[in-house]
Amino acid sequence: MSGSIDDRIKRDILLTFLVIALLFVAVGFFMQLRWRNDHIDTVYQLLDAIVSTEQSDLANELFERRITALRLRLQDMVSLQHVISISLYDIQFRRLVHVTQKGAAESGRPAPELPAADLRAGGGYRVAGGFDTLFFTRQIRAMGENMGWLAIVYDLSVLRGQLRMFFIFLSILLLVTLLSMLTLLRWRLRRFVIAPLRELGAAVSSLEAGRLLPLDNLEGSGREVGGLARTFQSMTDRLNQSYRRLDETNRALRDSEQRFKSVFDHAPYAIVVTSLEDGRLLDANEVFIRRWGISKEPSGRLKPDRLSMVPPREAASIRRAVIKEGGVFNRDMEILRPDGSWEQILFSSVPITFGSEASMLSMTVNVTERRRAEDELRKSQEKFRTLFELSPEAILLVHLDSEAIHDVNKAFTGLYGYSREECLGRTTLALGIYQETAERAAIFRRLRAGEHLENAEVGVRHKNGTALICSLSSITLTLGGESFLLTVMRNITETRLLQEMMVQTEKMVSMGGIAAGIAHEINNPLGIILQAAQNLENRTRIDFAKNRAVAESVGLDLAQMNEYLRIRKLDRFIGDIQSAALRAADIVRHMLDFSRRSDAKRGLCDLEQLIYQALSLARSDYDLEKCYDFKKIQVDVRVAENVPSISCIATEIEQVFLNLLRNAAQAIAEAEPPVVSPRIDLSVTGLSGAVRIVIADNGPGMTEAIRRRIFEPFYTTKPPGIGTGLGLSVSYFIITQSHRGRMRAESPPGGGSRFIIELPADSDPKGEI
Amino acid sequence: MPGVLVVEEDLQCLAWGNSNQQFVKGAPIRFSEWISSPAASLCVPLLLPVLIGWCLWAGAFQPVAAQSPEPVIVAAVFARTGHGSLQSLPSYDMVQLAAKMVNDRGGVLGRPIKVLEFDSSSTVLGARRAAQQVVQADVLAVIGPSWSSQAMVMAPILQAAGIPMIATTATANGVTGLGDYIFRVCYTNDFQAEALARFAWENLEARRMAVLTIADDIYSETLSAEFIERFAGRGGRVEVQLRYLQTSVDFAEQLTAVQRASPDLVFVPGYTGDVGLILRQARRIGLTMPFLGGDGWTGIEQNAHLGPLPGDNYHTSHWHPAIGTPSSRTLLSALGAHYGDEALGMMDTGNATEYDALNLFVDAVRRAGRFDRAAIREALAATRYFPGASGTISFRGSRDPAKAIVVLRITNAGAAYVTRMEPQ
């Protein structure tokens, strides 16, 4: 650096002014050029306008060669300021008139002559003599015809003077401006910049020497330098404060680093820092070092500096994820331990800058044990789920408060006919499972009271309306903090039926024993009564010789006596005795059927033939015909193809069929209102190892109470004296006892009754069912 | 106020009302007069069947021509545009009015007259172009122009084309000398100069004159020269003669010179526009002497923009409503019928010449008996004592009529009739 600011600024100012002056001169020159051209153009326009206004008159006067008039006219025109002379020419360029301004003539400057070239050029203007004179020429035309030429010499010397004056004024202005600015700037510079800068320099030198010179005397040196001094002072203060704060921050940083280092080293998880570029181990905490058998040198260097925990491809994938997605979080991975075993880990990694190197901070959590436990838990859940699903008992999980069904198993859906989706979220009340809502309410009440239910028998209903009996066991349990009812239902409808049947059978068996004794005891007196009644009848008959002989012997008129008997209805009494005794005998005979064991008569039977025989008997049954017209009933018999042959006692089975047909006909006949198209369907189908015979009517059916008692001996719904009440019980006895079959009655909701008989097939004639 | 008639002299002295109408030989006799004559009472019964037969025969071959006769085309050349248009526009109307009157009476030789109007643009070049257009239009004759300078330009062209031209107020001497097809219905400048000199000398008793002439204008220059010659002949002295441009608006230079000369009378043979300005500027600078002008001043009182012109100002003209000749009265009644009460406001005292020009042409056609330009020219040249509204017209070889001059004075109320001077 050389030269003072003062000198250099002086030089710069001069240079700047020189450039400005040059620019001014250049711009001025171009402006002048433009201005001059504009001026000339304006003059031309003016002259042209003047001539245009006079053109018509000029043309006419030229045409008439009115020279005097033309001279007068040109004299008017030449009086215009700065016009030196005007000349008028004919079309052959001969000058006709020439007028000169008086002043111009007096000034001694002769009017410049017009060169013919100007005229021949067709008009326009030309500047000559260095902006001194403008030569204007124009054709005088009228009616599209050229009449001559007009030439005007215009004085431009004024313009030249104006140009000269402009440049002189501009130069003087520039010079004065330059000198004043130079003086002023120099003074300002010294007073407000150079002197204060020197003082500031002295102050800085003092700062270097360790003391601070007061800068108060710079206040008057202008805003900028004064401000600079203040800034300088405040900067020094702030610098000191910054140093102090820096020390504190460094200390805090060291402490923080220590803490984080401690956290890093003693973290219970394996933490490692690796290079993002090549996977080198840059740092690792103690857990990591211990688990991977790495040694750490005092310099912090790890040996070995690389590990191959995961296959290279996966390592590259992790690095990509860290770079592109900003990290890997809780990724399940399997890594190879140094001892060759595999370990399940949760791997997380984020990119960091370690020192100056792009790195990734990775943390691994060993989840091998946790995974194993989760696996077992899952298996256990699956097991219990399977148990729940495949349980033969219907299981129902109901939310205790909302009573909504939470879950059901397959047995439940099978039992009730509802799909799982239909059940979930709805209540058993909404599904209509319980036959009696009061019963359901009672169950809930008891369960809410903390009681357990075990094998409570409840009436339930299938989706299709079929009534079922279930054994219900229920407990309350807590799942996920909420109370549920776990209810297990077992369908015991069949069991109940079997129980009924067993009771019935027991009744029959005891009935058989009793019947045998009673029959024997009653048959003898009955024989006596019947015989006595028969004798009474026989021995009053008139046609018997013996009777007549005895009557004659005692003097009795048999005819009169018979008349007496008839009138006094004694004959009827005898008949009544006979019929009553026969009826009693019939009952006794039926009772004896309970005790019969006639296996000897068992043989292969044609069920279809037996059915048709029974039908034939029914149709010819006098009693039946008397009360019920069997012929009006449409009987439909269907025998399946593959019915296995059975071994049975034909007469007994036939009697069973007859009883059932008779019962059906009676039920139809008694129906109120009458059945419109009465029918009885008989069907024989083969089961596996059995034959099922179903006899169904479309009569009024029966109530559940009747159905339960229908096979009881002496139970009848008929008026007294009509039936013995033994038909169905005997039939039941024949099927169940004599043939080891099964028999039950149903009364579907649609009406009618169905009697179902299942007889064991021939292959297993004595098989248990 | 234009149109108000001021009669200062008794018109009984004028011989116009007593003059007998005389017709040249061969001129058509009016049908109404002829039909009442004894000859007609013999001819009609004999000729009527022949005439009817001829009409039927001619009608069989020329039915269309008989129904709509082809019009006779006449050109009217005046200034519709330019500085003279204001003064010149009524000229067209006068020609059309005259044509209408002729057509209303059955046309000329059975054919109606159709007037085509051409514009001279108030300039000689415009007049020349109009003459060329007239030649192209193939007209039978030309009525106009009214300016001598324009007539000087048009005359050679129409002469070459053989079209008769009847100038209206072109008084410059040389106009009709340009060809035998060139006629005019106005007096000439030498006669006008004589009348003006006489009026100046006798009526105004002027002895020292100043003359302002339109530079190089043929009308103004010739009238000035003739006037100076005649005035000087009477012993008068022309103190100063100055020239000016017709289009000038500032006459200070000329009027200052007049003021210096201080004449008894100032003679300005100019036109309405320039004269109006001269009069106003003269009175403004204190010139009180009378101003005298030629027929170029005609209608000056109707130039509303000039306002009232103070002082004694006289000029010659061609007609005045106060002239009580039958033809003048016919014109007046026709004007009244056509334009109503404002009729005189529509025209000036020079416009009777246009009316006369067309009627003279019609008269010539009738006398010629056919629509042939040469025949019409012959008939025109042979005109004797044609009773025009502006005076009787007779051509005696020169094609310039010797007519009476009307002298008018400009008053605030209009142009007042002063006197009428017969040719000597």
Tokens of B245: 């441009």
Q: What is the pLDDT of residue B2?
A: 35
Q: For residue A66, give the nearest of B126, B216, B244 by CB distance.
A: B216
Q: HEC string of chain B?
A: CCCCCCECCCHHHCHHHCCCCCCCCCCCCCHHHHHCCHHHHHHHHHHHHHHHHHHHHHHHHCHHHHHCCCCEEEEEEECCCCCCHHHHHHHHHHHHHHHHHHHHCCCECCECEEEEEEECCCCHHHHHHHHHHHHHHCCCEEECCCCHHHHHHHHHHHHHHCCCEEECCCCCCCCHHHCCCEEECCCCHHHHHHHHHHHHHHHCCCCEEEEEEECCCHHHHHHHHHHHHHHHHCCCEEEEEEEECCCCCCCHHHHHHHHHHCCCEEECCCCHHHHHHHHHHHHHCCCCCCEEECHHHCCHHHCHHHCCCCCCEEEEECCCCCCCCHHHHHHHHHHHHHHHHHHHHHCCCCCHHHHHHHHHHHHHHHHHCCCCHHHHHHHHHCCCCEEECCEEECCCCCCCCCCCEEEEEEECCEEEEEEEECCC
List the single best residue of B119, B124, B157, B274 to mutate versus A (max A Cβ within 10 A).
B124
CA end-to-end span of chain A: 129
Q: How many CA atoms does the CB half-sphere of A637 hold within 13 Å?
A: 13
Q: Quick check: A747 and A735 in contact, CB under 8 A?
A: no
Q: For residue A60, give the nearest of B123, B218, B248 by CB distance.
A: B123
Q: What is the pLDDT of residue B381?
A: 94
Contacts of B39 (CB under 8 A, 6+ apart): none
Q: Cα distance from A70 to chain B (closest Cα, Å)?
A: 9
Contact residues, chain B, for A59 at CB < 8 Å: 125
Q: What is the pLDDT of residue B231?
A: 95
Q: Cα distance from A77 to chain B (closest Cα, Å)?
A: 12
Q: What is the pLDDT of residue B261?
A: 95
> Chain B interface residues facing chain A, Cβ-Cβ under 8 Å?
123-126, 128-129, 149, 214-218, 243-248
Q: What is the pLDDT of residue A207?
A: 65
How many Å apart are CA A231 and CA A200, to the nearest integer?
A: 12
Q: For residue B215, give the nearest of A63, A72, A143 by CB distance.
A: A72
Q: Cα distance from A67 to chain B (closest Cα, Å)?
A: 7
Q: How many CA atoms does the CB half-sphere of A302 hold within 13 Å?
A: 21
List the single best residue of A61, A62, A76 to mutate versus B (max B Cβ within 10 A).
A61
A514 touches chain B (CB under 8 A): no
Q: How many Cβ pairs within 8 Å bridge chains A and B?
A: 46
Q: What is the pLDDT of residue B51?
A: 52
Which A residues, 454 through 473, put their C-beta within 8 Å of a C-beta on chain B?
none
Contact residues, chain A, for B149 at CB < 8 Å: 64
Which ipTM score applies to this complex?
Answer: 0.78
Q: What is the pLDDT of residue B6?
A: 33
Residue A557, amino acid:
D
- What structural domains and CATH numbers belong to chain B? 20-26+70-187+324-403 (3.40.50.2300), 190-317 (3.40.50.2300)
Residues of chain A with pLDDT under 70: 1-5, 103-122, 130, 207-225, 504-513, 515, 590-591, 593-601, 620-628, 719-724, 762-769
In residues, how long is chain A?
A: 769
| Nearest in space to A630 (alpha carbons), one of A671, A678, A682 | A678
Cβ–Cβ below 8 Å for A72 and B244 = yes
| Nearest in space to B353 (alpha carbons), one of B82, B155, B88 | B88
Cβ–Cβ below 8 Å for A143 and B126 = yes
Q: For residue B216, give the nearest of A59, A67, A143 by CB distance.
A: A67
Which A residues, 71 through 100, put their C-beta within 8 Å of a C-beta on chain B?
71-73, 76
Cβ–Cβ below 8 Å for A72 and B243 = yes
- Cα–Cα separations (whole angstroms), residue A434 to A413, A454, A492: 15, 17, 15
Instruction: Give the angle A123-A88-B255 at the CA atoms, nearest 5°.
Output: 130
Q: At what angle do helices A5-64 and A157-189 cross, to 10 degrees?
A: 170
Q: Quick check: A462 and A412 in contact, CB under 8 A?
A: no
B397: left (phi over 0), alpha (psi -120 to 50) or beta: left
Q: What is the pLDDT of residue A110?
A: 54
Q: At what angle do helices B218-233 and B189-198 cross, to 10 degrees?
A: 40
Strands A302-303 and A453-461: unpaired
Contact residues, chain B, for A60 at CB < 8 Å: 123-125
What's the whole-number average pLDDT of chain A? 82
- Cα–Cα separations (whole angstroms), residue A333 to A343, A347, A363, A671, B231: 8, 7, 12, 80, 146
Cβ–Cβ below 8 Å for B124 and A56 = no
Closest CA in chain A for residue B120? A143
Strands B72-78 and B113-119: parallel
Contacts of A397 (CB under 8 A, 6+ apart): A405, A406, A407, A408, A484, A485, A486, A487
In residues, how long is chain B?
A: 424
Contact residues, chain A, for B244 at CB < 8 Å: 72
Per-residue pLDDT of chain B (424 residues; tens, 9 = 90+): 333 333 333 332 232 223 333 323 333 334 444 444 454 454 445 555 555 555 444 444 444 444 678 999 999 999 999 888 888 889 999 999 999 999 999 999 999 999 999 999 999 999 999 999 999 999 999 998 999 999 999 999 999 999 999 999 999 988 999 999 999 999 999 999 999 999 999 999 999 999 999 999 999 999 999 999 999 999 999 999 999 999 899 999 999 999 999 999 999 999 988 999 999 999 999 999 999 999 999 988 887 676 777 889 999 999 998 888 899 999 999 999 988 888 888 788 889 999 999 999 999 999 999 999 999 999 999 999 999 999 999 998 889 998 889 999 998 888 899 998 887 6
Residue A167, amino acid:
F
Q: For residue B245, give the nearest of A56, A63, A69 by CB distance.
A: A69
Q: Cα distance from B215 to chain A (closest Cα, Å)?
A: 5
Strands A634-639 and A603-605: unpaired
Cβ–Cβ below 8 Å for B245 and A76 = yes
- pLDDT tens digits, residue range A313-337? 888 888 888 888 888 888 888 888 8
Residue A354, helix vs strand vs coil: strand
Q: For residue B125, give the nearest of A67, A69, A143 by CB distance.
A: A143
A67 touches chain B (CB under 8 A): yes
Q: Cα distance from A116 to chain B (closest Cα, Å)?
A: 27
How many Å apart are CA B66 and CA B107, to the nearest integer?
A: 14
Strands A467-479 and A453-461: antiparallel
Count H helices, E strands: chain A? Answer: 23, 24
Q: For residue B215, give the nearest of A59, A68, A145 by CB distance.
A: A68
Contact residues, chain A, for B132 at CB < 8 Å: none
- What structural domains and CATH numbers belong to chain A? 5-165 (3.30.450.20), 267-372 (3.30.450.20), 391-491 (3.30.450.20), 498-590 (no CATH), 598-760 (3.30.565.10)
Residue A75 φ/ψ, nearest 5 degrees: -65, -40
What's the Rg (C-alpha) of chain B?
Answer: 23
Cβ–Cβ below 8 Å for A60 and B243 = no
Contact residues, chain B, for A73 at CB < 8 Å: 245
Q: For residue A142, give the nearest of B125, B218, B247 by CB distance.
A: B125
How many Å apart are CA A474 and CA A396, to the nearest integer?
A: 9
Q: What is the pLDDT of residue A267?
A: 84
Q: What is the pLDDT of residue A513?
A: 65
